[in-house]
Structure 1
């Protein structure tokens, strides 16, 4: 999900600077992420539409995925292509030897892909449009905090105990969002805080509804996950948590509110793995080493 949102500055730049007509290909479950993007002409899904693309007369293909599947699609289309350089060797050096040669954010690397088209980054950040028709059984006009519990892999997630220790001290409402896989953590927090100020929406909301709660809140607390990038697009103050993955991989909140804070596990300066699936220091992930008191202090700083 996050990878899709991170492509939006490129979409906007191609549209505005080249007056380009842009079609976008992605997985069917990600189509809604771009459904309100006014810079896109048409969205195609990998599952249903990929075989029809070769019959469209495109001038260029921009491949920001660069994997075996995207290579096969490009081969079928036989159109001049610009392909993202993943810089896999530099990433390998960072993860296994702590040598950081990546330096820049993945969005800036995306723009390197289309440099020959003379398209430049306008530095306006990510795009994500929240529907104005969202209605939820929650008073979103009050001051509250949104806490996203999600993460692609368990080692990327804060524990229920860490979150409970923070939430128990707060005097403002906290909304918990995430998927079905985050219900166990959410229920742990609810049971152990016994606070009437904690609201559990995990597994109950669409991406649009979750984004609405983020947009209306005072701040977003989040692991390294797709909702973090939606929060960036909405220019939210973000407190992000990092363990097995690190901002040095190039996927930190991009051009979000300047008050945002990154809380990084001190266990290691370098990432443990590419996507946070594996941790060098134990199966639970070094993100569990983050002190809840540090999180609490960061929240108080942004609440001022």
Structure 2
């Protein structure tokens, strides 16, 4: 049966959908699995043996009805038998319905629920991977794969290793990912810089990772850390970044996509929480990890995705976390 999985959220969400995709593809009744995602996350699926096709949906450029209608026609022409949408927006429900697939599955908390044929319970306290795998239930397909898998190609490895060598990273190193789409989810630039100095003083190299939008943040961290960290922000593809993370001793990151890439590459993770919370189900999965957050705050968590600004204007959840606290957890993680 031809199957489509809809996940048009951020990179981390797509990585956490991979066990669902992999479980589908590895079942004998499923003949193919296509994935509908946004252009910015599509490269994560390159070389993946369980992904038959990638359909890109630019939600910004094609947000008008003409773009949506054009995509609906493309999807209907594919003649899918099954559509599964972990993404819970009304637009995803509409796209699912437009395929005319006989079986359309999402969560009972999804917008436009009446457009699906099956709605499964959303395990609010579950990990996102486990939540997504529940969507297999109507098909009576058992989970065949519990760990997200990324598949960097030969060129990804070659480019990543060359980049490390060019920056003089020829020994053990720790990756820092100080960015996030949501400003309130970012620990302080000064904190990351002080942490970088402590790591360097301990004999490790520091590698800064991020996308184009994180270039300024990473440049400021590097400057405050004595210009010693290697700054790869905006220079690597998703899969090249995955290779760099795979070779690292550990990753320190805000609650963002690098956490889930590290999980897929089985690299130890130290994740920093502020406005969000581990109880939302987006913690590192199937890899060694530690979680850091300021306890006892009446204002936290304040949002499942974070936000542009702090609702109480203090950002105390991140401002009050010291580099010493983070460093102590990192040393413990490295020693496990």
TM-score (normalised: structure 2): 0.79
* Residue 12 of structure 1: aligned partner: 22
Partner deviation per Cα, 1:93-113 (whole Å, 9 max, x = no partner): xxxxxxxx8221121111222
- CA shift in 2, pair 1:87/1:253, >3 Å: farther
Taking a change above 3 Å as real, the CA distance of residues 289 and 200 of structure 1, as seen in their structure-2 partners, is: same
- The 1:69–1:188 alpha-carbon spacing in structure 2 relative to 1, beyond 3 Å, is same
Equivalent residue in structure 1 for 2:176, among 133, 143, 147? 147
Gaps of 5+ in 2: 1-10, 59-69, 112-122
CA–CA distance in structure 1, aligned partners of residues 38 and 227 of structure 2: 39
Residue number among 28, 34, 38 corresponding to 1:27 in the alignment: 38
Q: What is the aligned partner in structure 1 of residue 130 from structure 2?
A: 108
Give per-residue Cα distances to partners, 1:3-52, cap 9 Å, x unaligned.
Answer: 11111000111111344111111112221111221111111112485521
8 A Cα contact 1:141 1:216, kept in partner: no
State the SS of the aligned residue for 1:22.
Answer: strand
1:234 aligns with 2:265: yes
Shift of 1:281: 4.0
Q: How do 1:203-222 and structure 2 match up within 5 A? A: 203-222=234-253
Q: In structure 2, what is the equivalent of residue 164 of structure 1?
A: 193
Runs of 4+ with >6 A deviation: none
Aligned residues: 289
8 Å CA contact 1:9, 1:107 repeated in 2: yes
Deviation at 1:282, TM superposition (A): 2.6
Cα displacement (A) at 1:218: 0.6
**d(CA) in 2 for partners of 1:25 and 1:221?**
30
CA contact (8 A) 1:155 1:283 kept: no
Let me know the Cα RMSD of the aligned residues. Answer: 2.2
Query: 2:146 is matched with which residue?
Result: 124
Q: Would the aligned equivalents of 1:267 and 1:286 in 2 still touch at CA under 8 Å?
A: no
- TM-score (structure 1 length as normaliser): 0.87
* Partner secondary structure for residue 23 of structure 1: strand
1:77 deviates by: 1.6
Equivalent-residue separation in structure 2 for 1:125 and 1:82 (angstroms): 22
